Amino acid sequence: MAYKALIYTVEDSVATITLNRPDCYNALNRQMVEELLEAVRICGEDQAVRVVVLMGAGRAFCAGGDVRELLNQTGAIAPHVKRLLAPLHTVISCICRMSKPVIAGVGGVAAGAGMGLAMACDLAVAATSARFTMAYTKLGLPPDAGSSYFLPRLVGLRRAMELTFTNRVLTADEAEEWGLINRVVPDTEFVAAVYTLANELAAGPALAVGRAKRLFCMSDHASLETQMENEAKLIALSGQTADFCEGMRAFAEKRAPTFNPFPHIDKP
Residues annotated as catalytic are 89, 144
Rounded alpha-carbon distances, angstroms, from residue 243 to 14, 51, 99, 169, 237: 19, 17, 16, 43, 11
Q: Report how far residue 225's alpha carbon sits from residue 139's, in angstroms, rounded to the nearest whole number.
A: 43
Contact assessment for residue 164 and residue 152, using Cβ atoms and an 8 Å cutoff: no
Map residue 143 onto helix, strand or coil.
coil
Count of beta carbons in the 10 Å neighbourhood of residue 147: 25
Q: Report how far residue 186's alpha carbon sits from residue 39's, in angstroms, rounded to the nearest whole number.
A: 29
Strand order in the sheet with 109-111: 60-62, 109-111, 131-133, 170-171
Among 95, 55, 102, 94, residue whose Cα is nearest residue 209: 102
Rounded alpha-carbon distances, angstroms, from residue 100 to 3, 56, 68, 227: 22, 20, 34, 20
